[in-house]
Each structure stands twice: as structure tokens, then as C-alpha cells.
Structure 1
Amino acid sequence: MSVRRRLFQYRRIFLLLAVVSSVYMYLEYKRNVGNSEEFTWLTRRKPNINESVVNGVKNSLALQLADEVRILCWVMTNPANHKTKAMDVLRTWGTRCNRLIFVTSEDTAELGETFVLQNFTDTHDVLWVKTRRAFKHVYEKYANELDWFLKADDDTYVLVENLRYLLYAYSPDMPIYFGHDFKYAYQVKNHYMSGGAGYVLSREALHRFVNAAMQNSDLCPPEDKLIAEDWAIGMCLRSVGVLPGDSRDAHNELRFLPLEPHTLLIGKYFDDAFWYFSYGIYHPRVCQNCLSKHAISFHYMTKEGMYLTDFFLYQFKLYEPEEEKEVLPKKLRLDEVKIPTPFNAWDITVN
């Protein structure tokens, strides 16, 4: 073979190898970029409300409701609780909301999204101010994005999936709100919802609160009035025609609870004079078999209670768990919403 012909052959082999190497390098580059983007997404993403696993079982109904019943949760906290109670909420139930906001008087990056009240002395006496401003803030920023607006304390534990299940039957355009029903100064006809157990406003209820009630001090206590925030918002919502919805389950058990689970299950230090019994709109009970199987919230939760509850609900796996048929409730029209007659066996007051 001549030298010229041999050089031509080598050139062809070199070009072929160059093409193969280029293709290989390009494919390797694409694979590495894809892996890098996936790794970045995995490490930066927030906990996903659609990854709902209860007792080790994937909950398809919870996945569906997370998209259909969009809830903003705002949590009342203060700087002293940022690294304790507020962080406990963030690490447990809080990220199962569609959006989570902490309302406080000092900014902190650790908690994520916060609404900070500037030049504000954060004490128990100003909870009504915080409540008014927080609801106004979420209305102005998120009323067009979300359906329901939950207020909770930083020692409240909320089972967000059960809350969505309750709210599914109701349109967010109804003037309605839900929580644990108490009565004003023994006036059974006038409801208000316990602040500690948490209460949730529909989009329409929030609209009426911000644009009607808050604008008229004859309808709604002004900021400078020293008053309990749950009393005050109950007055405001009632004045603009917002209905106090019945949040009890199919067995008439209460789902928003103003006390922690073990107190309600054992109740060893309760007697008839305990405030919980006399303020309830509906018959409040403490016993092993009277807690709702679809409870929504508990108040006065300790750090230990928060993490134990979260572990047994979302990480613990019971072998061969009993499966419950997933059935959504009927969607209701406003004229189908019923406010049942109050009943409390301990009630010694008159209407």
C-alpha cells in the first residue's frame, strides 16, 4: 500500500473516532447536567404537600384534596418562640398547608415566609391587633390564589388532610367559617370560635371581614380595643353575616379541640365547674371513646406532643392497616348548610 493511500486510511479512522468521541462527550454532558439539575431540585425543594403518607400508606384522597381545597395557614408567634414552638410547627404539620406564613414582630430567615409587624411590642394584649393585620395582609396578597384561610397558634397541631376533607363540601364563596364553637358570655345564639383550637375562614368570609367589618368600628372592635382576638373576630364575622359552620363529624364528635389529646382522653382533673364544659355550644366530653376519629386540631401541644403525633401519623407503619373506603362528601349549596341547634348537657344558662 502506498504512503499516500495509508495516510488517507488513517485520516478516515481519525475522523470516525473524533465523531464518536464528540457524540459520547455530548451525551455524557447532557446526562451530567440532567443529574445536576435533578440534584439541585431535590436539595432545594420544600416538603411537598402531595407526598401524603399516613401510617405508611399513600393517601390518594389527600393528594386530590391538596389541589382542590387550597389552604393558607398563618401561625401566630413571637420572637421568643421562633426557635422552639414556631420551628416545631414548621417541622411538622405546617408544610402540609398550601402556604404557610408566620406572623411575628421580628424577621427571621429560619421560618421561611413571615409577616413582620414593624415597631411593635409583642405581648398577649396585642393579639387582636396582630389578627386584624395578619388577615388583612393575607387577603391583599393571596385572596385570589387560595380558598381558605386558617389562623392557628404556635402550640396548635393541625391535621391538614382532615381539615381539607371537612371543607371540601363547602364552597369558598360561601360566607362561613369553622372552628371550636364557644358562646359569648353564656349567650348560646352568639357563637365564636376558639382561637387556640384554630379557626378557618372561607374566601368570602375573609372578604367580608376585611372590606366590611374592619372598616366599621360599630361592627368590629378597632385595633386599640383591649379584647380577646377570638371573641373579637367572632363579633366581626357575625356582624357581616358570616355563618358559624358546624365542624362536628358524622357522630357529632368535635373535630377542632381546644385542649391536647391526652387531657381529653383521660380528663382526670376535670369537674363540672371546668370552663371547657360551660362555654361549649355543643356537648363537650372527655373520655376514651369520644374523640373524633377525624379530628382536625389540638391546642396546648407540647414539643413532645407535636413530634410524637407527627411520627405516629406520618412515619409509623401499622402492619396490615385497616383500609377505609375513600368517599368524598356531597358538595353543598348555601341553602343546604345547616347550623344545628346547640346542645350542651352542662349548660345551665338560657338563650
Structure 2
Amino acid sequence: MLFESSSFLKGMMLGSIFCALVTMLGHIRIGHENVTHHEHHHLQALSKEDFLKISEAERMELVKSIRVYCMILVKPKDVGRWAAVKDTWTKHCDKVEFFCTESIKVFESINLETNDMWTMMRKAYKYAYDKYKDEYNWFFLTRPTTFAVIENLKFFLLNRDATQPFYIGHTIKSGELEYVDVEGGIVLSIESVKRLNSLLSDPEKCPEQGGMIWKISEDKQLAVCLKYSGVFAENAEDSEGKDVFNTKSVGFLIKEAMSNNPQQVVEGCCSDMAVTFNDLTPNQMHVMMYGVYRLRAYGHTFNDALVFLPPNGSDND
């Protein structure tokens, strides 16, 4: 009798696992139903020649139309990086807000009351859409290990229509799923955030705890949810095909270039219009700030055809 009971329990367990696998595979198929006709895109920034074809008046209108809201996901242990990010590149966002797992007295932040990164991301996007859908048209989300050059981001977005479903950054392919790596930062247009927001309350298409047996990272979860609404990951590149969203630090990329191609270290390393670098310490953040915004060669004048003005009240460099 005991043996029969044990066999029955084993059968129940195996049956449950089988059903869960079938359910998971069903979710994957559904999530990719509309993918077969979609080709992955490598989005490139305007070339110098194409940019100069735009009239000065049109350039000014384009500049004014790009409004970037920056979202930084942080945890209490990130206080050092948090301070560095707050004091450096985020001053160039049109608006920046920090989203934390809990309330922290040291820094002003939005308490999301969860340690789960996917739940944090969901809540942050919902908050952003509900509060700022009429004020900002581009939403840039990243971690406090990332340094971003917002002016380069705005230049990349110059000829993009935020009313279209853009989902941009450094893309990675994982099986059939293509997603934007959060380490390099994720950019969503207002249309993409709108579509995502409509799915957040649908546990079948965008479950809060995930629809898989095993847990997947928050950036992959985001890609799965976005695919249900016809939004697909796009790799951002300059006009020469170099990535502009980097998931490594400048130092790492330079060492890699020196090892792989010592004759072309700079050319083999990074794009001149790089938007992000990742895995930076607080000190490296300040060094980047010095190199990008403060260092000047007197007597040499840069005649940029575009000027991205800092947000009102900003004490940016």
C-alpha cells in the first residue's frame, strides 16, 4: 500500500512538471506568433552627409521635440554609485528619477517596495507612463553602473518618431528571443511604453512573476512582454555600424581593442558618438565626466550644428 502511494505521488509530480513544461512552451509559441515576419533591425544614426541635408529650422524643431526622461533602478547597496550618477551625467537628462527597493533617507527616490528587479522595472515604467506620458517622449532606463552621454542619445533619436514603437539599445540573442541588455541601457519611445503599460495588467501576456518554470532576467522579461504588442529589440549603431550602447567600460573596451587590433586601438574600440558605457566605479564616473564635458583645448573651436540645451534649473557641466 505504501509502495502504491509513493508511486502515485511520483506520478503526480511528474505529471505536474510535464504540464508546466507544456504550458511554458505554449507561452513561448504564443509570444513568437508574430515574430516570423519581423526581421531584426540595426538602427543607424544619421551620417554627417544626411544630417547636413536637414535645414537649420528643421534641426531646431527636432531638437526641441526630443524630451528624455531618465530612470535609474537602484538598491541601498548602490549608494556610492547612486551619488556619482546623481552628480554627473544625469544632470543632462530632461528629468531624472531614481527608483529604489526601499526608502532611503540619503537620497530622494521613489520607493517601489520590492527587491525583485523585474517587479521594480514594471512598477517604474507604470509610474513613468502614468505621470509623464504627456511630458516626455523617450524613456531611458538603466542601472547606476552606467554612464550615458545624453546629447549623443538625442542625436541618435533625431530622426526617430516617438509615436512609433521603438525599443533600442545593445541587443542580445538568447535562443529565439532578442532583447536589449539593461547593462547598456534601454530606450523606449512613448508608444512602446504605452503598449507595455496596456500589458502590465494582463497576467497571461506579461506576468509579474514570470510565465516560466525558471526565473529569467528583467531585461528578457521586458522583451517577452513587448513582443506581445509588436515591439521588437533594435540594435543602435553609428553611421559606420559601430555599437553606441556599450555594456562594458571604456577601459575594458580599449584593452580588448589593444589585444585584438593594436594598430587601430581607438578605431577598433568605440564609436565617436557612443551613448553609454557600463561597469563603472564612482571614481570612473567622475573621470568620464571630466573627459566628456570639462576638458577643453583652448584655441580649438567646435562648430556643432546642434545645441541640446540643459533642462531648466539644471546645474549640469
TM-score by length of 2: 0.70
Residue in structure 2 matching 1:85, options 51, 69, 81: 81
Counterpart residue type for residue 92 of structure 2: R
Aligned to 1:293: 272
Deviates more, 1:65-74 or 1:147-156: 65-74
Aligned to 1:242: 231
- Percent identical among aligned pairs is 23
Kindly provide the CA deviation profile for residues 44-78 of structure 1, in whole angstroms up to 9, marking residues without a partner as x.
Answer: xxxxxxxxxxxxxxxxx999876421111110101
The separation in 2 between residues aligned to 1:161 and 1:241, in whole angstroms, is 28
Conserved 8 A contact 1:156-1:298: yes
Alignment of 1:218 onto 2:213: no
Alignment of 1:172 onto 2:162: yes
Question: What is the DSSP-based 3-state SS (H/G/I as helix, E as strand, rest coil) of the residue aligned with 1:149?
Answer: strand
Query: May I ask how many residue pairs the two structures share in their alignment?
Result: 243
The separation in 2 between residues aligned to 1:306 and 1:66, in whole angstroms, is 26
Residue in structure 2 matching 1:102, options 98, 104, 112: 98
Aligned to 1:116: 111
Aligned to 1:163: 153
Conserved 8 A contact 2:68-2:93: yes
Q: 1:1-351, aligned counterparts within 5 Å?
A: 67-82=64-79, 84-108=80-104, 110-112=106-108, 114-118=109-113, 120=114, 122=115, 126-185=116-175, 187=176, 190-211=177-198, 213-223=199-209, 226-267=215-256, 287-290=265-268, 291-321=270-300, 323=302, 325-326=304-305
State the Cα distance separating 1:170 from its structure 2 match: 0.9
Counterpart residue type for residue 208 of structure 2: P
Counterpart residue type for residue 73 of structure 1: C
Question: What is the DSSP-based 3-state SS (H/G/I as helix, E as strand, rest coil) of the residue aligned with 1:206?
Answer: helix
Q: Pick the structure with greater CA Rg.
A: 1
The separation in 1 between residues aligned to 2:295 and 2:196, in whole angstroms, is 41
CA RMSD after TM alignment: 2.6
The separation in 2 between residues aligned to 1:244 and 1:71, in whole angstroms, is 19
Runs of 4+ displaced beyond 6 Å: 61-66, 268-271
State the Cα distance separating 1:262 from its structure 2 match: 1.1
Kindly provide the CA deviation profile for residues 63-122 of structure 1, in whole angstroms up to 9, marking residues without a partner as x.
Answer: 98764211111101011223x11111000011211111111023335433x21023x3x3
The separation in 2 between residues aligned to 1:209 and 1:71, in whole angstroms, is 18
- Bigger relative contact order, structure 1 or 2 (CA pairs below 8 A, ≥6 apart): 2
State the Cα distance separating 1:245 from its structure 2 match: 3.1
Unmatched tracts of structure 1, length 5 or more: 1-60, 272-285, 329-351
Question: What is the DSSP-based 3-state SS (H/G/I as helix, E as strand, rest coil) of the residue aligned with 1:236?
Answer: helix
Conserved 8 A contact 2:180-2:234: no
Conserved 8 A contact 1:157-1:298: yes
